[in-house]
Structure 1
Amino acid sequence: MLRKTKKVISLFCALIFILPTLSYSMDKEEFLKFLIESSYPESSTKDDNSKEEDKEDKIANKEEDYIKVHIGEENIPTLNSNPNNKENVSVASSEYKNDIRLTKENPTMLIYHSHAGETYSDSPEGNYHSQNKEKSVIEVGTLLTEQLSKKGWGIAHSIKYHDYPDFTKSYASSLETVKSMLNNYKNINIAIDLHRDGRDLKTEADIQKEHERMSTTYKGEKVAKFFFVVGMKNTNVDEVQGLAEDITKFAQSKYPELVLPIVKKQYGKFNQYMAKNHMLIEIGSNGTSSDEAKASVKYVAEILDEYFKQNR
């Protein structure tokens, strides 16, 4: 008990001396970034009794990370307060009950979005984060659901905003969704967390450079490129990485112009330990348009369909 008391006193004293120094040496925005970077984007769940592997690791928002943190109220996804202003989506809203659409009674595949507020270059409000569904990964996920359903797959598609109101707890929130879906639909053994890549785009030159990196012309059509992200902190990292590498290799054999190498995140989990086959897929980026991302979906759907039918 005495030892714990000494540790608490030491920590308290350290905070007294360190925090003022940090706050004086940084402006307000920099200090907020410091606080967020110490825990973003993964945080522990609310369940204190859960196992260690059920808790997301803290991860720094480094320059090369696949998503950027943007400080400022104008960059926080906002709820649409007008109930009469309906977003246009590929499927009638009646298909979604409590933000979930099931294409079969017993789905085998889950598609969800830890960052549902991620939007593309044709919806730059909120620094490419908003609830403009038509220009977001939600619409891309809706289309992917349609394409895979036509190929015979039973899909559960969640359009819940896990990055609102607290963007830094996106993965803790989406973890609860994944747990609930796996508990309710026991046949699900494939999970896809669908994103778009994010870069810090400040000028038109930045946007153009990013557009060239993440898009190409294929069969006369502008198409966004895609890739897989692997969280290297997962207890089942060998399986997660092996799956991403196998599908990437398969995709390169069919559409080498469209797929990029996998990205490994040394400090991440991204909930990829939850399902037998869990993928984090980035389709396009904030430098590509939503139409380019949607144009890529038919190829992604074909790749996933053929791969998993061959490897059941």
Structure 2
Amino acid sequence: MLKKSKKVICIVCVLICILPVVSYSIDKEEFLKFLIDSSYPESSEESEDLKNEDVQESEKTANKDDYIKFHIGEENIPTLNSNNENKEDVSVASSEYKNNIRLTKDKPTMLIYHTHAGETYSDSPEGNYHSQNNKDKSVIEIGTLLTEQLSKKGWGIAHSIKYHDYPKFTESYISSLETVKSMLNNYKSINIALDLHRDGRDLKTNADIQKENERMTTTYNGEKVAKFFFVVGMKNPNVDEVKKLAEDITKFAQSKYPELVLPIVEKPLGKYNQYMAKNHMLIEVGSNGTSSEEAKASAKYIAEILDEYFKQYK
């Protein structure tokens, strides 16, 4: 610390001598602040750690058991971490996806991605409802349908189908953070980001599955559809904005389809990358107690809700 203080004093002395002869086009105060910050990185208003911080600190530092306990839940851990190449295509023509990305416009305004792309529904129980072999029964399929529905309404969508939860499930958010950073850097038109999941419950018996199905489904127009809800990471530096957005969309959804949306869930220790985009949401569509068909049936309603909300209020 003493050495740093001496260094700064020396710098200030040099500045006193140099600055008077430097062009007045240079902001001396800002230049001095830059030099002090260079000597004392911890004095920066926004440290590099915060800029590059992952969704939650515990993902980097806590052990696996703590991470699971606070952020995932024992019931949602894969029992099969297969790295086999996926042979199935998503329902939208595979030619539309390049390097796991589909763009519906050159300048997309919304990013849809999946931190846990391997999450599957009740009709795909492999690996404790986690698989790379059943895209059509996973959250990826819901993302493709949501991309289709929103693009038809005029939105420019960037949809990532990259698996962030393989090979290391407990580093899923570290991996998806890199995807979000890359997409926001490459497509500066994006100001809405949606991390699409499905809820996970501990389902041991058929009775458990039935009960969970009743909790997470409703019927509209004679069709059984999966309910959805938003999750808010309460450790985000922008938590007030993240929470307000989730609350506002939930309220708007309830005004249109009261039985379709559940109250938001707050995670005290989470960030979930929600500090990255101006409007960042984590949405859970259905659960491992609902079928992929029930989750797919929700896509058109969710697309309608997001379309109308952002066009009216943002």
Please give the range of the TM-score, normalised by the shorter of the 2 chains: 0.7 to 0.9
Q: Contact 2:75–2:201 (CA<8 Å) still a contact in 1?
A: no
Contact 1:107/1:187 (8 A) holds in 2 = yes
TM-score (norm 1): 0.79
Structure 1 CA distance, aligned partners of 2:71 and 2:208? 17
C-alpha spacing 1:64/1:122, structure 2 compared with 1 (3 Å)? farther
1:76 offset after TM fit, Å?
Answer: 2.9
Alignment of 1:131-280 (within 5 A): 131=132, 132-280=134-282
**Cα pair 2:71 2:270 within 8 Å, conserved:** no
1:77 pairs with 2:77: no
Gap change, CA 1:259 and 1:277, over 3 Å in 2: same
Residue 128 of structure 1 corresponds to which residue in structure 2?
Answer: 129
Quote the Cα distance in structure 2 between the aligned partners of 1:207 and 1:279: 27
What corresponds to 2:97 in structure 1? 96
The answer to whether the 8 A contact 1:66-1:199 is kept is: no
Q: Provide the secondary structure at the position in 2 that maps to 1:90.
A: coil
Q: For residues 77 and 301 of structure 1, what CA distance do their matches in structure 2 show?
A: 32
The percent identity for this pair of structures is 78
CA distance in structure 2 between the partners assigned to 1:302 and 1:290 by the alignment:
19
1:215–1:70 distance in 2 versus 1, CA, 3 Å: closer
Letter in 2 for 1:190: I
- 1:116 matched to which residue of 2? 117
TM-score (norm. length: structure 2): 0.79
**Matches of 1:130 and 1:76 in 2, distance apart?**
8
In structure 1, stretches of 5+ residues that fail to align are 1-48
Superposed displacement of residue 205, structure 1: 1.1
Contact 2:70 2:269 in 1 (8 A): no
Q: Quick check: 86-95 or 188-197, which moved more?
A: 86-95
Q: Aligned pairs, how many?
A: 259
Change (3 A) 1:77 1:140: farther
Where do 4+ consecutive residues of structure 1 move more than 4 Å? 61-67
Q: Which amino acid aligns with 2:129?
A: Y
Amino acid at match of 1:57: E
- Residues in 1 aligned to 2:289 and 2:67: alpha-carbon distance in whole angstroms: 19
Contact kept in structure 2, 1:67 and 1:197, CA below 8 Å: no
1:194-225 Cα shifts (integer Å, max 9, x gaps): 00000111111111111111011221111000
- Measure how far apart 1:176 and its partner are: 0.4
Quote the residue 1:45 is aligned against.
none
Q: Partners of 1:154 and 1:192 in 2: how far apart?
A: 13
| DSSP 3-state at the match of 1:118 | coil
- Name whichever structure is richer in helix by fraction: 2
Deviation of 1:50 (Å)? 3.4
Q: Give 5+ residue unaligned stretches, structure 2.
A: 1-46, 60-65
Higher Cα Rg, which structure:
2
Q: Letter of the aligned partner of 1:311 in structure 2?
A: Y
Provide Cα deviations, 1:66-104, integer angstroms capped at 9, x if missing partner: 644666xx71332334xxx73142211111000000000
Q: CA RMSD in A?
A: 1.8
User: What's the offset of the Cα at 1:311?
Assistant: 1.7
What letter corresponds to residue 87 of structure 1 in structure 2? E
Cα distance, 1:64 vs structure 2: 8.5
Task: Report the secondary structure of 2:171's partner residue.
Answer: helix
Amino acid at match of 1:51: D
